[in-house]
Amino acid sequence: MPIDPTQPYDDSNIFARIMRGEIPSTKVYEDEWAFAFEDINPQAAVHTLVVPKGSYVSWDDFSARAPDEEIAGFVRAVGAVARAKGLVEPGYRLLANVGAHGGQEVAHLHVHIFGGQPLGPMIARR
Ligand code: 5GP
């Protein structure tokens, strides 16, 4: 079920629970600003999720409310994860779904990193 990106942040969401260690994950990176782990249902050869440590429902919430330092830290973390995975030269794709039309299912901002193969069309054909 898609989430409502205008709802207040609720720290019972699954990614907050993963960061608290209440649910296991395959962690690939962590720093002051971000936590990254493998998607449980990968859609490409590489499918890694990067989430900010701060409490933000969506990209909309993050871009509106997060302090500049936190935005910079998170964006740099996404780049660091992609570099660590060796994705820069072959290339990769970032995706942040927002709300119903985006198909967002978890109400904590997450950026998908896809790679490890040619990724095809940018969005599904209708
Ligand atoms: P969204 O549709 O919200 O952009 O993406 C949510 C993503 O979270 C999906 O790709 C889904 O496979 C992943 N996901 C959902 N639950 C879990 C979980 O418990 N662990 C991990 N590692 N990924 C999850």
Reported as a single tens digit per residue, the pLDDT across 84-118 is 999 999 999 999 999 999 999 999 999 999 999 99
Q: Which of 125, 126, 110, 121 is nearest to 48 (CA)?
A: 110
Q: In angstroms, what is the span from residue 110 Cα to ligand 1's centroid?
A: 9
By most ligand atoms within 8 Å of CB, the mutation choice from 3, 12, 14, 50 for ligand 1 is 14
CATH number of 14-115: 3.30.428.10
This prediction has a pTM of 0.98
SS3 111: strand
Low-confidence ranges of the chain (pLDDT < 50): none
pLDDT of residue 41: 98
Terminal-to-terminal C-alpha distance of the chain? 20
- Distance (Å, rounded) from C-alpha 35 to C-alpha 63? 18
